[in-house]
Structure 1
Amino acid sequence: MKKRSICYVLILLSVLLTACSAGKKDSGSVRYDYSSTGESTGMSADNGKGSDVGYTNSVDTTAAEEPKNAASGEMDNQSTSNNSDTNRKRIRKIDLSLETLEFDKTQKVITEQIQKSGGYVESSSIYGSKAEDRDSRSAQYVLRIPADQADSFVEIMGNKMNLIHKEESSKDVTLDYIDTESKIKALKVEQERLLVLLEKATKLEDIITLEDRMSTVRYQLEQNASTLRTYDNLVEYATITLNIEEVLRISPPESRSNGDRMKTGFTNSLLNMRDGFVEVVIWFVVNLPYIVFWGIIIGLSVFISIKVYYKKDKKASPIQKVNSISNPKEEEKENK
């Protein structure tokens, strides 16, 4: 019994010793992990140095690689954003209100610039004629100019004429364009499958059904293809609307100071008075035949009415004389 108890004690001691040694190893490993973070310098000579060197090398390499990765990520993002911007489908519209002193020369300039830019006129309308007042003519042009030439065309129009108002809008149709393309691809696949089935079909009913579906698919293909062509035209060519008016003088730019505003207003008032007087003279000269005609008619009518009135007065005067002779008392009274 004593031998067994001694054996048990020895076994327990050995277990405790192994546990203690394991605990020391674990504490050493924990100390190694803790010291590897660089927060403690009290490491063992062998394990500490090796671990410290290996860890710091790994930290340095990752620290050096992170900026590179970040820079490459930014470059990738910029490149993708640039690609996405270039691949966007945008419909651009620009409206310009312009003034000109030389209407005929302006029309020639517009025609020349349209030909140089490679655009075309979608619609145009001109109001007034050269025989009328100088500032009565106006025109409206709806132009289709290539998108890459639109800005230069607008700049030239602003330099050749006086720009009063500019309005610009843009519509993004990228999603609609992609949806239409995907529909076309799906319809083409369906068309190919229908052709295969039509070759294999033997029953008349199946052939009729397949041909009906084929006609529907072809119609949808043509419709979607037409939509894509319309989008391409609207995206490749900007729509520029020009509203041009012929004026006697160019409108001055707006000023914010009160002195400039008073000066401009006073000058405009004088010019308006001058223009009004000129317009009155022009109106008088233009309508002079009507004035002479109606003046003659009115003068004759007045002359005739006066003449008729005097004739009536002369006819009435003898009766008054007879009455005066028949009443001598009244005549004496008149003499007195």
Structure 2
Amino acid sequence: MKFKKGQIGVWILSLIILSTGCSASSKSNRYETATSETKSESQVADTAIEEAELSEGNPVIDTNMAYNRKMIKTGEMEIQTKEFKACVEALGKKIQSLEGYIQNSNVEGGNYYEEYQNMRSAYLEVRIPQKHFDSFLNSPQEYGSVTRTSTNSEDITNQYVDTEIRLKSLKTRHERLLSLLEQSGSLEELFEIEKELGEVTYELEKAEGTLQKYDQLVDMSTINIHIQEVQKVQEVKPVITFGDRLVKTFNRSVENVIDLAKNFILAVVACIPFLVVFVPFVAVIAFFTIRLNRHTKNKVLKKNKKEEVLPEKQEK
């Protein structure tokens, strides 16, 4: 009986040890699982950060709509470039490759009569098929440094549908008037029908022209492009530190001192012609003025001496 009790105690002790080991192993497995999940999440986060860093730059513009609407799209771009001619030519080739065209253009600068080189600028009003609107705005690296991009979409679906309904009604009315014109008997009725038929025809053509205009504006988007030539492109830093501000302030002060010295030298050089003309004139006037003053002074001295001599003679 004692052996059985000891055997039972051994079995109970072994069961406790086994349960403790299983719980410890399950805890360790959970810890390893949680650790692996944490590592995987951190790896995913690192990958997302790296992808975000790789995709930094100008945001991608998407103006497409998931449902069918009549939209008039317009946009504006401002570009700065050191290669003005190459930029304008690249834009022209890109527009032609997208089945677009330049509606208006204006190029300023590059005057051969100017002594120094002046920066050129250009303005282009471009018509691009709407299907290429986003791809054209999202390819700035081909032209230069894009400093500003803006888009605008005007929904004209309601106006378009109203015009279509009106056009359909006018066509029905036009057909009825034609049938009445064939059935008219008196001359007065004929004149009245022809007059109304002319008005309906005018309104019908006007509505058709409005729909054609809407179709052209919807199919071909308008983009206004401003191009400015620059001498250098300044790299933009993500964070401005105190050291950067200190260096920038010092450089600005040095530039101001240099500009002040240059302006002083220019002022002196500008005064030289006036000095050449007026200095001899002033010197002549000063010479005669001094001589006249001496002559007048000598006269006064001689007069005073005579006045002093006369009383002495009278006393003698």
Gap runs ≥5 in structure 2: 1-64, 309-316
205-214 vs 246-255, which deviates more? 246-255
Match of 2:188 in 1: 205
The 5 A counterparts of 1:156-167 are 156-167=139-150
So what's the TM-score if we normalise by structure 1? 0.61
The 5 A counterparts of 1:208-219 are 208-219=191-202
User: Structure 1 residues 253 and 299 mapped into 2: Cα distance closer, same or farther (>3 Å)?
Assistant: same
Alpha-carbon distance between aligned partners in 2 of 1:170 and 1:270, rounded to the nearest angstrom: 45
Match of 1:124 among 88, 105, 108: 105
Task: Tell whether the 8 Å contact from 2:98 to 2:132 is kept in structure 1 after alignment.
Answer: yes
Match of 1:96 in 2: 77
Deviations, residues 101-147 of structure 1 (Å, cap 9, x unaligned): 12222221222222222212222223333545656322222211111
User: Structure 1 residues 195 and 182 mapped into 2: Cα distance closer, same or farther (>3 Å)?
Assistant: same
User: Structure 1 residues 316 and 140 mapped into 2: Cα distance closer, same or farther (>3 Å)?
Assistant: same
Match of 1:321 in 2: 298
Task: Tell whether the 8 Å contact from 2:126 to 2:222 is kept in structure 1 after alignment.
Answer: yes
Q: Does 1:300 align with 2:263?
A: no
Task: Tell whether the 8 Å contact from 1:98 to 1:163 is kept in structure 2 after alignment.
Answer: yes
The CA deviation at 1:222 is 1.0
Structure 2 counterpart of 1:224, one-letter code: A
The CA deviation at 1:204 is 0.9
Alpha-carbon distance between aligned partners in 2 of 1:130 and 1:275, rounded to the nearest angstrom: 30
Residue 138 of structure 2 aligns to a residue whose secondary structure is helix
Match of 1:237 among 220, 224, 236: 220
Match of 1:22 in 2: none
Task: Tell whether the 8 Å contact from 1:135 to 1:246 is kept in structure 2 after alignment.
Answer: no
Alpha-carbon distance between aligned partners in 1 of 2:264 and 2:85, rounded to the nearest angstrom: 27
Structure 2 counterpart of 1:92, one-letter code: K
Deviations, residues 160-215 of structure 1 (Å, cap 9, x unaligned): 21111111111111121111111111111111111111011111111111111111
Task: Tell whether the 8 Å contact from 1:96 to 1:163 is kept in structure 2 after alignment.
Answer: yes
Structure 2 counterpart of 1:200, one-letter code: Q
Match of 1:168 in 2: 151
Structure 1 counterpart of 2:296, one-letter code: I
Match of 2:131 in 1: 148
Structure 1 counterpart of 2:299, one-letter code: V
RMSD: 3.6
Alpha-carbon distance between aligned partners in 2 of 1:109 and 1:101, rounded to the nearest angstrom: 13
More helix by percentage? 1
User: Structure 1 residues 272 and 208 mapped into 2: Cα distance closer, same or farther (>3 Å)?
Assistant: farther
193-202 vs 294-303, which deviates more? 294-303
Alpha-carbon distance between aligned partners in 2 of 1:127 and 1:223, rounded to the nearest angstrom: 39
Match of 2:19 in 1: none
Number of equivalenced pairs: 242
Match of 1:192 in 2: 175
User: Structure 1 residues 250 and 277 mapped into 2: Cα distance closer, same or farther (>3 Å)?
Assistant: farther
Residue 86 of structure 2 aligns to a residue whose secondary structure is helix
Match of 1:41 in 2: none
Match of 1:49 in 2: none
Structure 1 counterpart of 2:283, one-letter code: I
Deviations, residues 53-75 of structure 1 (Å, cap 9, x unaligned): xxxxxxxxxxxxxxxxxxxxxxx
Identical counterparts, % of pairs = 27
Match of 1:111 among 72, 87, 92: 92
The CA deviation at 1:241 is 1.1
User: Structure 1 residues 322 and 284 mapped into 2: Cα distance closer, same or farther (>3 Å)?
Assistant: closer
Alpha-carbon distance between aligned partners in 2 of 1:272 and 1:149, rounded to the nearest angstrom: 49
Structure 1 counterpart of 2:123, one-letter code: Q
Deviations, residues 234-280 of structure 1 (Å, cap 9, x unaligned): 1111111112221222243363x342x853784597489669969x9
The CA deviation at 1:322 is 3.3
Task: Tell whether the 8 Å contact from 2:110 to 2:118 is kept in structure 1 after alignment.
Answer: no
Task: Tell whether the 8 Å contact from 1:135 to 1:248 is kept in structure 2 after alignment.
Answer: no
So what's the TM-score if we normalise by structure 2? 0.65
Gap runs ≥5 in structure 1: 1-83, 332-336
